[in-house]
Amino acid sequence: MEIRDESIRLGQLLKLADLVDSGADVKALLADGAVTVNGEPETRRGRQLVVGDVVSLGDVHVQVR
């Protein structure tokens, strides 16, 4: 997924990539440990992602470009 700025928040990326419908969905997935960033579980919705980061949710992987 291409971004316009230097970084994007994890919650925003999940919504823009159509992996979740709402912020409430993001919170629940993060609490369950279902989301990883660069292979590590992430619990912070506000985590800043930069070019090259890979976000995974199940079998779906999104690389920030």
pLDDT, average across residues 10-27 = 94
Asked if the structure places residue 1 within a domain, the reply is no
pLDDT bin (cut points 50, 70, 90) of residue 25 is very high
Inside any domain, residue 53: yes
pLDDT of residue 51: 97
Could you tell me the residue range of the domain that residue 15 belongs to? 7-63
Per-residue pLDDT, 23: 87
**pLDDT for the residue 48:** 98
Mean of per-residue pLDDT scores for the chain: 96
Q: Is residue 36 part of a domain?
A: yes
In a domain? residue 2: no
How much is the pTM? Answer: 0.93
Which CATH number is 11's domain given? 3.10.290.10
Residue 27 is assigned to a structural domain of this protein: yes
Task: Count structural domains, the chain.
Answer: 1
| Full 3-state SS string of the chain | CCCCCCEEEHHHHHHHCCCCCCHHHHHHHHHCCCEEECCEECCCCCCEEECCCEEEECCEEEECC
Contact 10/37 with Cβ under 8 angstroms? yes
